[in-house]
Amino acid sequence: MTETTRDGRSRLSPRALRPFRVPHYRRLVAALTLSLFGSGVWVVALVWQVIELGGGPTELSAVATANAAGMLVTVLLGGALADRIPQKRILLAVEAGKALAIGTAGVLAVTGSLEIWHLAAASLVYGVSEGFFYPAYSAWLPALLPADDLLAANGVEGVLRPTVMQAAGPAAAGGIIAAWSPGLALLVIAAAQICAAAVLGTMPRTPVRGEPAPGHPMTAMLRDIGEGFRYMVRTRWLLVTLLYATLLILVIMGPIEVLLPFAVRDQTGGGAGAFALVLALFGVGGALGSILVASLRLPRRYLTVMNLLWGLGCIPWPSSASPVSSGSWPRSCSSWDSPSRRGP
């Protein structure tokens, strides 16, 4: 792709950077980066806040389930509302809601008043907000960018997600928790969401792109959601892929996300920094994989290749030094105490 300068000469413009020529898109990416950073800090802060409150895998699973339930309940509604309400208004409400919920939990944590149910409630609000965020963000892009730049914009998000949410955010959280406390990390998340809302507030309000559907708005919205389900069932590759992904997340990824921090602490002796390092390396690997795949030609059966690679990454690798083989299984979950509460 070439680009003409003021003096009439042409210069090469990388396709991946073309969306950044639009000032409104640059601000949207800045807000997305702040939001993803907060999400990355949340992954580590949530775990260590549960541990500091004396919780184990059961309590962490309950808090994480609240987050997932909030997203599951609202994501379809968020997709339907993104076509009917200005996306700027949705994103501002989302960032404000996350800032209020996590900020309240952070204040309770630093004052010593936080309980597990407080954290579960904040996690529920966080999940509900995420269910509205990504549909609105995706629906806003076509109003801000030319159609030719949308693929590059998706690539930008594909790089930001692993590098910011899975690497930079957890790394920052590990440092904050090691130096201060998980409660302060929660306040940092709230500050990031407030900054994201401030950036979004400087952007123009664009008109809703879709035509208003006939009939009552609620009936039309439910009709759109039903049509989405019917399309999913009719489209065999989409249905199979979603069922496969659901099975992997339920059986493999969910338990790994809940048990990984306790495995890091009780099997390696690491703390929040070690857990953040594991997540950061996962994010770096994801970013490198995205760049590699983007540099290659798309395979003919790309869905088959994608599912095979995903399944390969979920294969457990046994180790002769594991606690199972040596007979030194970690202590009971009920005896997992916070490091700050242990005696000398």
Low-confidence ranges of the chain (pLDDT < 70): 1-16, 209-217, 253-254, 290-291, 293-296, 298, 316-344
- What is the sign, positive or negative, of the torsion defined by CA atoms of 330, 333, 338, 344? negative
Structure token pair of residue 44: 């580590």
Q: Which two tokens stand for residue 222?
A: 């439910």
CA torsion 65-66-67-73 (nearest 10°) is: 100
In this structure, how many other beta carbons lie within 10 angstroms of the beta carbon of residue 48? 27
Q: What is the pLDDT of residues 305-327, one digit of tens each?
A: 777 877 777 776 655 444 433 33
Write the DSSP assignment of 94-113 as a string of letters: HHHHHHHHHHHHHHHHHTT-
Report pLDDT digits (tens) over 93-140: 999 999 999 999 999 999 999 999 999 999 999 999 988 998 899 888
Q: Kindly list the distances between the CA atom of residue 113 and the CA atoms of 43, 92, 301, in Å, as whole numbers in the listed order.
A: 21, 29, 54
Tokens of 205: 């309000």
Q: Does domain 14-206+217-315 have CATH number 2.130.10.10?
A: no
**Helical spans, DSSP H, in the chain:** 23-52, 57-81, 87-110, 116-144, 150-160, 169-179, 182-201, 217-234, 236-248, 254-268, 272-295, 302-313, 323-326
What lies within 8 Å, CB to CB, of 211 at 6+ separation is none
